Chain A
């Protein structure tokens, strides 16, 4: 057989039937999907479709329901939703999970959290799986050696009824990270650097494999940050070859295999890697040593710059379309070309989201905040990625660090990442945010989002403006 990429192996191994006579990119296959995770806002119409057609869920035990998008994150938790629409979604979700036999972590469940944080920490996602789920950041699972990609509601319904998707093969891209990250530079900066380089649609039509010594050196949680946010570069599926760090991460997780089954699984998982001479349709190399802490200045995740840099000048952009988009972004962000990014003041600081609210993220942010106070006029919020992360952070006293620094220590959920609950920016408010999307109005109509790593958010909160985290780290 000709050499294959890991992506090819997983697609070949999950192909139930070919749907046309093509092969390679664009070929359509009926693809077996191992697992899905459901949330309350993209699933209701899928369940309604099943109900109307009198269809059952093919394999209910392969699905997990988690309430995360609409619930409040106030420190005192109850089952009240902030509005009637959200309450209705949560109620219908519970009804659907019950009627179709799907396990549900509702808002008061001790394992509730953001779906992409909850599923890995449960051991629900394993290497070699193909996971399609109704949220674009399903790419997160690439870090575990599972091919993850987001799907819409019609495809959720298709999956639930058949355990398969009608799937078109992607082209393949490999992103190799060479070298070592400098102190103060994180996985978030790696993925932001990639998106800045290839653009917000640079990986559209591609399944992306991350590889190289720079990736191997990262923790599994750091790898999740990269896989998660790669979708902002257009990646339509993300994978990393599973290694010992992944096996160590999964060992002992509640839903991971045990005993002899674990040994057999690890033997199989150890074979999951691209053939050495496999050919990718596109190759990108990044040098970790050249990556600096980045912040976004615009309204698309590729509109980013090193924090020590300046707001760019649209007039210097030769392409007319890009010039117009840049000007529009600066108008929305209320930024003037040439302004030093480190002088841009903030009113809000948000540490949360499926990109950056795992325990390691909270540790990094707390490391900056220990013994410091956030600046007057800044409101800071920490929303742990899951209730389990919250408990683990409390067990090591991180909650005290955040609270003493002046941050609100909240319950888990998507929260200000997309502001579908009552956590919203007021018009014109500027937020340093550890999230993944700086779209217009994403965090609230008229709100202005600057994406960065969680440690950079902590540093900005202390300074009251965007700042290079390495300045604060040096003072410590």
Chain B
């Protein structure tokens, strides 16, 4: 997965609650067998009209947000389906971190597995950052993961992240390889477990 240390760039506000993964990545972009080509699908119906032309009023289509790296979002972002395509598409669009109050569980795990940083801060801090993100003069942020800080001008907003998740993000770890280092432990567990509940062993 993509490593994350310090990233800077514009932030865009998407304040609606419950932005679900159907909105982030509509079904017509789920027909592939690889991860490619998903940037067009990301927020498709918000970004493009029925004829496929960009909607000029949608924030990510406006020139001041052309290089957007961060989203400042409403509560329960990423709810709904487990489709990881939503995370792949956001990253292909250039999004590296998302700031909000709460994120849906499967989406959060998918983000962690791909190096998309989700930052949960309180409602007042989200409101402050959303105001900045909405202002083209002040919408540039920097996120310093080692220091666990969001920086915007003079403002510094600290955030929490579980140490193991932070470490994995900074190092861009391959989780499967790490787990397979413990293959013998898994095998021993499995033998014990199936001996105790033999009906699970078939």
For A300, list chain B residues within 8 Å (CB).
17-18, 20
Task: Assess whether A41 is interfacial by the CB under 8 Å rule.
Answer: yes
- Using known A-B contacts A152-B110, A234-B79, A445-B45, determine if residue A205 contacts B105 with beta carbons closer than 8 Å: yes
Instruction: Say whether B31 contacts A83, CB under 8 Å.
Output: yes
Task: Assess whether A157 is interfacial by the CB under 8 Å rule.
Answer: yes
For A325, list chain B residues within 8 Å (CB).
16-18, 74
Contact with A along B74-93 (1 / 0, CB 8 A): 11100111111001000000
In the assembly, what is the distance between CA of A293 and CA of B82, in Å? Answer: 28
Instruction: Say whether B113 contacts A265, CB under 8 Å.
Output: no
| Size category, B interface | 35 or more
For B197, list chain A residues within 8 Å (CB).
128, 265, 268
For A17, list chain B residues within 8 Å (CB).
182, 185
Instruction: Say whether B84 contacts A42, CB under 8 Å.
Output: yes
Instruction: Say whether B102 contacts A328, CB under 8 Å.
Output: no
Instruction: Say whether A136 contacts B190, CB under 8 Å.
Output: no
Q: Measured between C-beta atoms, what is the minimum distance from A418 to chain B in Å? A: 6
Binds B, one of A158-166, A277-285, A401-409: A158-166
In the assembly, what is the distance between CA of A419 and CA of B31, in Å? Answer: 12
For B17, list chain A residues within 8 Å (CB).
200, 300, 321-322, 325
For A420, list chain B residues within 8 Å (CB).
27, 30-31
In the assembly, what is the distance between CA of A135 and CA of B21, in Å? Answer: 12
Of residues 144 through 202 on chain B, the ones whose CB sits less than 8 Å from some CB of chain A are 162-164, 175-176, 179-180, 182-183, 185-186, 189-190, 193, 197-200, 202
Instruction: Say whether B18 contacts A16, CB under 8 Å.
Output: no
Instruction: Say whether A19 contacts B186, CB under 8 Å.
Output: no
Q: Measured between C-beta atoms, what is the minimum distance from A386 to chain B in Å? A: 20
Q: Measured between C-beta atoms, what is the minimum distance from B112 to chain A in Å? A: 9
Q: Measured between C-beta atoms, what is the minimum distance from B180 to chain A in Å? A: 6
Q: Which residues of A contact B (CB under 8 A)?
A: 13-14, 16-17, 19-20, 26, 28, 30, 32, 34, 41-42, 44-45, 48-49, 53, 55, 58-59, 61, 70, 83, 85-86, 88-89, 92, 126, 128-129, 134-136, 149-155, 157-158, 161-164, 166, 168, 200-201, 204-205, 232, 234, 236, 257, 261-262, 264-265, 268, 300, 321-322, 324-325, 328, 418-420, 437, 439-442, 445
Q: Which residues of B contact A (CB under 8 A)?
A: 1, 15-18, 20, 22-23, 26-27, 30-35, 45, 50, 74-76, 79-84, 87, 102-106, 109-110, 113-114, 162-164, 175-176, 179-180, 182-183, 185-186, 189-190, 193, 197-200, 202
What are 5 A-B contacts with C-beta separation under 8 Å?
A89-B31, A135-B81, A154-B110, A234-B76, A325-B16
